[in-house]
Structure 1
Amino acid sequence: MDDGRSSRGGGVPALQEKALIRPGVLDDAARAAYAAAYTASRDTSGGLGSMDAGLSGAALFEVVLAGEIVCRYALRIEQCTNGAELIIVAAAGGVRGVDLVASVLPHVETQGPGAERITLRTRRRGLVRKLLKQGWALDAYCMGKRLKK
């Protein structure tokens, strides 16, 4: 996965050494956490989507560290003409001093049995930079414009 050190934590052990990833549930606490991924500043649907629609049919997961849920993420597998695609539908959470992208993403990449690709949509430029360093590629630009009614 990585060298056991956080890129931001100055020697803090990586999350995967101590954490448990388990199936998640969509309870009130999860709804509140996932709501952070659907704020206006992070919404990738142009305001047309909703958290419930985005999470519908997705497999939910929780990252537990020292008995606390520190991250939640939702995955969906889409069957395409030429193979399956693992889609990260939503992710939320954080641990001070731990790079969750570097620590959790290698495990997420193994959670799509038969998937040939993994994709996500984001408005976060910092996340894009992190993903590019981990071998991801920018596949396309997604442009949007509100139409007058």
Structure 2
Amino acid sequence: MGPLSSRGGGGRRAPMADINVTPLVDVMLVLLIIFMVTAPLLVAGVPVNLPDSRAGALEQEQKPIQISLDSAGTIFLDDAEISQAAFPARLQQIAAGRKPEDSPQIFLRADRELDYGRVMAVMGELNHAGLNKVALVTVGGEDMAGGAVAGLAAAGGR
């Protein structure tokens, strides 16, 4: 469609009514690619080699508290490193003033190379502080039908 000529012969042309959407589509595709590349990088800040599991994902209402243990046994509370001595006091502070049924959901991420006793020591501290809604985070494993299942294994909850 080109410009339309007017009826009165003055040589004037009517404005073109077409909109070129090609630049809009190009920009939107570039933004889509950028978001697709950066979104997986924003999930977790502490690199942890998680074990495999066939458990399904858990439902959640509020943002959970993430506790991570790297391969050296260092404790991270929501991506911030915390010393082993200050960890129980910080858990008591999180649990203070809350009823047991109102305790926050805790996601525990531990490196697969870490000693099992170290993970259980952290879970013991969580239990001692009254934080019993603990979920162990794993990566997707293979189920019997061959499909991958990613999720959280519930532990110690009501």
User: Which of structures 1 and 2 has the bigger CA Rg?
Assistant: 2
Does TM, scored on the shorter chain, surpass 0.5? no
- With structure 2 as the length reference, what TM-score do the two structures score? 0.29
Scaled by the length of structure 1, the TM-score of the pair is: 0.30
If each structure's helix is expressed as a fraction of its own residues, which one has the higher value?
2
